[in-house]
Amino acid sequence: MQSLENSQAKTRADESSTSTALKNSPFTYLDISLIPTNGTGKTIVFRQVKAEMADNFGHVSMQVPVGEYDMVAVASKNADVKINSVTEVVFPNKVTDMAAVCQKIK
């Protein structure tokens, strides 16, 4: 059996440091969608707001059903972002400050 630490999906922000890459960034929202790769099951949607998270903004930990997912994460400044799929993200108005990543998770 794998330890939990070895089975967790990690991003570049997950380093030995106690702070995240987003902590001191200008971004105020972090939207994450986990989309099942086989097309069955529900998409898991998660949102963080910097004002509510203080020092933990950008640190995400969640339990999800076993399976394979495409993760789409978008960090934005003052925007209500909607992740519709791996290839479609809807931004309100003219969003100029944002960063995005897409990653497969098993």
> What would the pLDDT profile of 26-79 be if each residue is shown by its tens digit?
888 899 999 999 878 899 999 988 888 777 888 888 888 888 999 999 998 877
Q: How does DSSP assign 3-22, residue by residue?
A: -HHHHS---TT-SSSSS-TT
> What would the pLDDT profile of 92-102 be if each residue is shown by its tens digit?
777 778 888 89
Structural domain harbouring 85: 4-105
- Domain total in the chain: 1
CA distances, 95 to each of 36, 47, 70, 79, 98 (Å): 27, 17, 24, 7, 7
> What would the pLDDT profile of 82-95 be if each residue is shown by its tens digit?
899 999 988 877 77
Q: How many CA atoms lie within 13 A of 58 on its CB side?
A: 22
User: pTM for this one?
Assistant: 0.74
